[in-house]
Amino acid sequence: MAGVSIPSADVLLSRRVQEMALKGEEPPPLYICRDGDTEDVSSALSSIPVIDLGLLSSSATICEQEEELQKLKSALCSWGCFQAIGHGISTSFLDEIRQVTRDFFQQPMEEKNKIAKGVKDFEGYGADPVPEEGQSLDWSDRLYLDVYPEDTRKSKFWPESPAAFRDVLEEYTVKMKTFTDIVSKAMAKSLSLEENCFLNQFGEKRLLQARFNYYSCCERPDLILGLKPHADGSGYTIILQDDVEGLQVHKDEKWFTVPTISHALLVLMGDQMEIMTNGMFKSPVHRVLTNSVRERISVAMFYTPERKKEIGPEEGLVNQERPKLFKKVKDYAGTHWEYYQRGMRALHVAKV
């Protein structure tokens, strides 16, 4: 039968979703991953805990610090994420990051393609590498960059336009280093562990990788996903959202929409924190919905242990009632990626 040929994944991934959306194209079959059931679309706004990091500093009373640490622990044991406020990064700077991200994606394709990635590569502007057969594609475009340590940077992928992009990203990286130090120590204290224990496991050369996400509008948001359900392979991830909802976290068999808070950063555990906390903190499955009215941007910073370093459950979290759940693992992020491409979680490979 002389049928219409269906473009393959690598052909589709060499085009940008943003282009298809601007032309008002229907999502091609390889993007279709839902059956049009709108039940999920109206999922309840979640009550993901909001933690004031300012209350964890020495300027707060001991009582306030204790209370906030307990809230933090409870958030991470149940939701695996929290909205951080009082982090000392100004709303105007967060707005600047959102603005350069928006400005980058709103440029003509020709400009963005100066830093285009190959279909199979990771770093640069484009889409995730081609997944295994049978896996659907995400209705989004992204710019992926290694940002820390400095010697991991490949400047050829750092956009020269918009002009402020590089400086803003450099400044954000410095702020994220401080932020992750504070959060890693707070998480240790909340579990009554020595405050540097997680930082020691992450190692001197711990990584920060930035992923700028652009979720185009879609006429049929009920058929596609901006980002398919997954758990992160990082230690943990810091997500800056704009004012368009879309991110959802899976808990108790339901999807909960993460509210947008303009001055907050969402801190979401990755599998490696679940391993290091011997399963106490949860690495939640999450996904991104799109809508037919407004595009959405987000910036995810993946904070990951040094590549060649072994990580494992903290001894202080292993006892008779709570035996060791995980083995020591190395380069978990690589293993995670292999499974991700097959639409699977990887955590079981680390199980005892």
Task: Indicate the residue whose CB is closest to Fe ion.
Answer: 232
Tokens 């003509």 locate to 108
**Mutual orientation of helices 62-78 and 165-190 as an angle, nearest 10°?**
100
The 299-318 site mask, x for binding ligand AKG (CB under 6 A), equals -x------------------
- Least separation in angstroms between residue 117's CB and ligand AKG is 15
Select the span of 3-11, 239-247, 274-282, 306-314 touching ligand AKG (CB under 6 A).
239-247
- Least separation in angstroms between residue 119's CB and Fe ion is 21
Q: How far apart are the C-alpha atoms of 27 and 29, rounded to whole Å? A: 6
Give the binding-site size for ligand AKG (rule: CB under 6 A): 11
Cβ burial of 186 (10 Å; 0-12, 13-18, 19+) is: buried
Q: Which two tokens stand for residue 21?
A: 């959306």
Q: Is 241 in the site for ligand AKG (CB under 6 A)?
A: yes
Region 91-110 residues binding Fe ion, contact defined as CB under 5 A: none
Whether the Cβ atoms of residue 278 and residue 318 lie closer than 8 Å to each other = yes
List 94, 298, 305, 347, residue binding ligand AKG (CB under 6 A): 298
The 219-238 site mask, x for binding ligand AKG (CB under 6 A), equals --------x----x------
- Least separation in angstroms between residue 270's CB and ligand AKG is 9
Tokens 């941007």 locate to 297
**Closest alpha carbon to 44 in 340, 258, 287:** 258
Q: Which amino acid is at 72?
A: L
Region 273-292 residues binding ligand AKG, contact defined as CB under 6 A: 286, 288
Q: How far apart are the C-alpha atoms of 129 and 123, rounded to whole Å? A: 10
Largest CA distance in the chain: 76
- Residue with smaller CB distance to ligand AKG, 28 or 229: 229
- Residue with smaller CB distance to ligand AKG, 247 or 269: 247
Region 227-256 residues binding Fe ion, contact defined as CB under 5 A: 232
Helix, strand, coil % in the chain, rounded to nearest 5? 35, 20, 45
- Residue with smaller CB distance to Fe ion, 212 or 314: 212
Q: Is 48 in the site for ligand AKG (CB under 6 A)?
A: no
- Residue with smaller CB distance to Fe ion, 141 or 232: 232
List 239, 249, 269, 301, residue binding ligand AKG (CB under 6 A): 239
**Closest alpha carbon to 195 in 87, 314, 282, 281:** 314
Question: Which residues fall within 8 angstroms of residue 65, CB to CB, at 6 or more apart?
Answer: 55, 56, 57
Q: Is 146 in the site for Fe ion (CB under 5 A)?
A: no
Interacting residues with Fe ion (CB under 5 A): 232
Interacting residues with ligand AKG (CB under 6 A): 211, 213, 227, 232, 239, 241, 247, 286, 288, 298, 300
